[in-house]
Structure 1
């Protein structure tokens, strides 16, 4: 699934790279930028966390003509007279105008580095509303945002990720040059797909997908659970021997009628009792109208 995202066969919508202090997702973010530039796409990057020089470091210089950087690193709050981009400009109207200033005819890819800086100064509902308007407005083809999950409350992270088509949660792998990506894909029909992949990012920001991670603890717990017998330490026996099972099958249950019992109930034998009723003279019983005494 990660290879499809990098190749552009399954892109569009809103993609969130969720990282933490244990592992940075910026290398994967720059890999996605590089892949979009290689596909002849225009990419707009709003830099809050790092400077323009640091973001461009390692990217292919031959592709930078389609890379448009908007420096929000120097003056993110707009204290100067003419800021390049400030946090109060993070709304659908200003972002759409920012992207349409370029001469590219096709919708561009908008990269936000990072959403965490914006969420510290703009309310989460306003951020979610802006992202939703950009998704539906058609000004951008795709939105990619880096989110430092350990900087926010769980509800804030969940609200942003709920809007995402893809959520890539990165964590360190077992080796120094490896990482684990937990990918969640939400389709328009509501179907959710999840996949875990081990990957590595090279110096030129090419990504190599190695394999699906193996979790020995999970396999071991399943094996132990299968081997444990829950009836081993009981004070009574739940199993029947062959003799006990044979005796149980021969036992006649009280609610099961045998053939002899059915015959005795249907056909009354000698000595069985009967109830006879003989009306006397005071009984006003009409054979033609049995309900005459009901006064209807």
Structure 2
């Protein structure tokens, strides 16, 4: 799955490479950039963690002219008079202005190296909102971001990863050269596919899949909320069969009168008996004192 995602990037895709101090994901990030250059895509990099020379090292020289590096590494906080890019300029308007000179906006990939720098200086809700605006703006084909998961709380990491169409979590493998990529991919229909693969990245940024783990390749839908059945494990049956339901519907309840029964009760019939009651002296009822006969 990792190679499929790297070779074919859908329009509107948002890929997050999630790493930690135990396993760096920048080489895999550069492999994605290299594959996009070979597809003749235009790439804009918001670089906050490494300089331009370090990022360009090893990339395909034939397509390197299509890579635009926006230097946020030299002065990320804007301490000088004319900073090239600061972390506070991470807004849809600013980024769209920087992408404005691209001849083919539909084939532009935005690379954020790294998203952790932005999350350290912006509230998570603001970052998520701006990422959504960038995806919906139509000026980008895809977004690729590097995220250091051990620098943030798990709730923040989960909120940002929830926006992504693909999340690749890298961790150390069994060997010194191997690493494990746990890939979660969400399609537009809501289907979720998860896979774990052992991979290596060579000096020319070529990714090689060594093997798949035992539990890889299983596709599943998003888990639905489980609701307990109150009628389960009872000693009696609360549900009706079809025959019992039909018999229940035909049954006339004692407090439900039919039209014929209502007519018989409301209309006087000849020869019907009547009850006549004549009160005596002991039945004298005083409206002012209804309890008079109790001798209280």
TM-score, length of structure 2 as denominator length: 0.71
- Whether the aligned pair in 2 keeps the contact of 1:5 and 1:11 (CA below 8 Å) is no
Q: Is 1:40 the equivalent of 2:40? A: yes
The aligned counterpart of 2:84 is 84
The aligned counterpart of 2:237 is none
Equivalents in 2 of 1:293, 1:176: separation in Å?
106
- Whether the aligned pair in 1 keeps the contact of 2:45 and 2:112 (CA below 8 Å) is yes
The aligned counterpart of 1:234 is none
The aligned counterpart of 1:95 is 95
Q: Is 1:19 the equivalent of 2:15? A: no
Equivalents in 2 of 1:9, 1:82: separation in Å?
35
Q: How much does 1:292 deviate?
A: 5.9
Give matches, 1:282-293, under 5 Å.
Answer: none
1:126-156 deviation per Cα after TM superposition (whole angstroms, max 9, x unaligned): 1111100011001111000000000000111
Equivalents in 1 of 2:214, 2:148: separation in Å?
26
1:34-87 deviation per Cα after TM superposition (whole angstroms, max 9, x unaligned): 000000000011110111111111112221110110110000011212111111
Aligned CA-pair RMSD = 2.0
CA distance 1:292–1:78, shift in 2 (3 Å): same
- Whether the aligned pair in 1 keeps the contact of 2:199 and 2:209 (CA below 8 Å) is yes
Equivalents in 1 of 2:198, 2:108: separation in Å?
29
The aligned counterpart of 1:148 is 148
- Whether the aligned pair in 2 keeps the contact of 1:4 and 1:10 (CA below 8 Å) is no
1:258-287 deviation per Cα after TM superposition (whole angstroms, max 9, x unaligned): xxxxxxxxxxxxxxxxxxxxxxxxxxxxxx
Equivalents in 1 of 2:164, 2:128: separation in Å?
10
Equivalents in 1 of 2:54, 2:141: separation in Å?
25
- Whether the aligned pair in 1 keeps the contact of 2:106 and 2:139 (CA below 8 Å) is no
Equivalents in 2 of 1:132, 1:93: separation in Å?
13
Equivalents in 2 of 1:24, 1:209: separation in Å?
17
- Whether the aligned pair in 1 keeps the contact of 2:12 and 2:135 (CA below 8 Å) is no
Q: How much does 1:105 deviate?
A: 5.0
SS at match of 2:103: coil
Equivalents in 1 of 2:87, 2:274: separation in Å?
92
Equivalents in 1 of 2:136, 2:210: separation in Å?
35
SS at match of 2:16: strand
The aligned counterpart of 2:28 is 28
CA distance 1:117–1:142, shift in 2 (3 Å): same
The aligned counterpart of 1:198 is 198
Give the paired residue count.
222
Structure 2 unmatched runs, 5+ = 216-268, 277-296
Q: Is 1:124 the equivalent of 2:132? A: no
1:196-241 deviation per Cα after TM superposition (whole angstroms, max 9, x unaligned): 11111111000011221247xxxxxxxxxxxxxxxxxxxxxxxxxx
Structure 1 unmatched runs, 5+ = 216-288
